[in-house]
Chains A and B, each alone.
Chain A
Amino acid sequence: MARSLVGMRIREQRRALNMRQADLAHRVGISPSYMNLIERNKRGIAGGLLRRIGEELGLSIEVLTGTAEQRLETDLIDLARDPERGDPAMDPATAGEFIGRFPGWARALARMGRRERAARAEAAALSDRLTHDPFLSQAVHAMLTDIAALRSTADILTDVPDIGRQDRDRFQGNISALAERLAETGSALAGYFDETDTPADRQSGIDMLEDFISTGDAHFAFAEQLGARLAPDIRARTASDSPDDALLQSSAGRKWGRARAHIQKLYLAELQLPETDAGDHASAAAHHPAITGLLLDRAADAALAPMDRFRHLLDQANWDLPALCRAYDGEIGLVFRRLLALPGYRFGYLHTDASGHTRSRLGALDQLPRHYDAACPLWAIHRARIKPFQPIFQRVQFPEGIERIFIAMADPDTAESHQISADPANMPDQFLSRVVNSDRPRPVGATCQLCAHADCPQRREPPVVDLAVSSLQSG
């Protein structure tokens, strides 16, 4: 959808400005026939060309690429593919058309889908908590034991008519003591729920995070500016080995970790509440720990790899990502996240820890598994850990026929893996030339449940999608 909407938006804005297609093509330095292909969605567009067209049309890249609408489409595709909420007749490929024709309905449906998913996750988390939380387990056991004693004692007083006075007084005293103890346990339990984060808080953080990625442009821009402003000071401090340096007192060992710790220590409030956006919805969300972490990441990235310098090195290295990582002291995550922030491109980014658990998913979220889903085991990100610091390139095709390029690299020290996914139609030739093109794209899925590839050797569980229908759609 990204490509089709970009072409459509270019055409609509050009017409609104009464500009001829050939004139726009001339101004941005391409042929009219190529501009025609772009507007008719036959060619992808990214990078400098997208930026130039945006400047000529007076539209930002974010408006042209429709970041918010891409999020909306991702949500609807998630909904269509979900085995419990979706329906086999919902074709993910028509999500873009649905948004175009019924934007209000589409937004409402996506909102309901997100809330329902959050509610299900909350219920599952509560269930887990009731089962495994040691305090709750002990408190519930104590309450049941006291209730058992209370019931048994009360029944004695009721059912034994000839009970002696001494026994009666003793059991009545027991009832009083048990009631008092039950009240104390109940109060402690209520206090415990009040004092701790509820699972709802934690779960809604995932959706809040993704909402913020879509809507928090001003905050990211501020974090970028802050990082760039601090860059000279940060570089000087991270280069220093002086034990008096405040940065070295942080627990993080590497430059990036030290830079992030420094910004967190001195500039956190500034990041959370930039003066330009005080009081808006995104500013409130910026205080959420997950979002604060994201903004700190961005500021640290910008401090150690200011975008102009990064872009220059990227061109100089001819998109050779390992060379770029070496230039940035082996900070793979830093390089991959800077690619994600590169204006004019639309990457998806996945970051997993040493156990393969997803730590973050940013950028183009389509085709990426939800946090609580297990990703397809065929993806490059899992293979990268076998060969740390070596780039693993993969051309992949999803069951719907969508092609992507994956580049993954693993950190040799932490065994964390990073993966960028890119739409080949939007990537420059220098980048594509590094991908082995002779091979056919490897069939992959998002998760096993939603994947229609019947003969996959890595399948963990049977698919819930209709293999025949999916094959027809992909064929």
Chain B
Amino acid sequence: MALVKVRYGAILSVALFILVFALLCIYGRGFFTAENLVRSLLIPASMSAVIACGMTLVMIGGGIDLSMGATAGLGALAGAALGTKVVSSIAAAMFSGMFLGSLNGFFIALMGINPFIVTLTTSFVAKGLQFLVSLQKAQSTALLWSLPMDRIGSSASFQIGTSLFVVIFLYVFIGKTKYGRYVKAIGENSEVAIYSGIPVRFYSWMTYVIGSVLAGLSGVMLTSYEGLVRVGSGDNFLLDAFLLPLLGKAVFGRLSIGGTVFAALFLAMIVNGLYILGLPPSWVNAMKGVLLFGMVVVSQVGRR
């Protein structure tokens, strides 16, 4: 067994990141300005990093949560409908996330049902709740944020600060506490974890709760930046949440908060760079797909 495994994929990917960044600095007019880096790179990256870090925790525990997109949407709608102040909005969003997360966790960790099936079905439930909240509040499928929340949502320090807090919290939680180790152990081998005396069901349940709370929070971050919440606002987040941890894993060989954040930054940089280089907006998504595809293939170099 090789003691030191050189991950050519990781080295190549990081080199690619630096190369793309450098090229954009040289050729992209206005790329390397504080305004652009904060508004168009860090803020989108921090929104998707929050939900993707929640998913990373769930995935490290050996699960998956496909209801996160719907949960993010529900959190945003609940926040906009119930809260008039900043704190109460965010609390409402996180509580609705907690509700769905504990529902998921109950069926997955306590009843032992396949996470795919459970979270798929709860995403239907969350979609229904989105319509319910929105129609009850305003007879329409879109709500406006309250003024204070709107103002704080468009500030860069709120977006990036929240994201930084979440990232650091989860990094410490997973990497430096025994609870994080429990979650890792469960993800590696739940049978062994049981025999090591770890309360497997509780910690598995907990990953879903934390993940969904973060999903609700990221829903608030996204929609308060835009000022408007629609039913289905969070749907696009599902892909981010799902893709970023796996990209991080493809690059660094295992699921980690660092890898997820790297993937979020990389993706945001690609999108920003393509816009700045003057690609027509309708082509940006296609190019993003092509580059992602290339990156995934490159990251597999030297594997097996």
Q: Bound pair: A and B?
A: no
Chain B residues close to A by CB (< 8 Å) = none
Chain A residues near B (Cβ < 8 Å): none
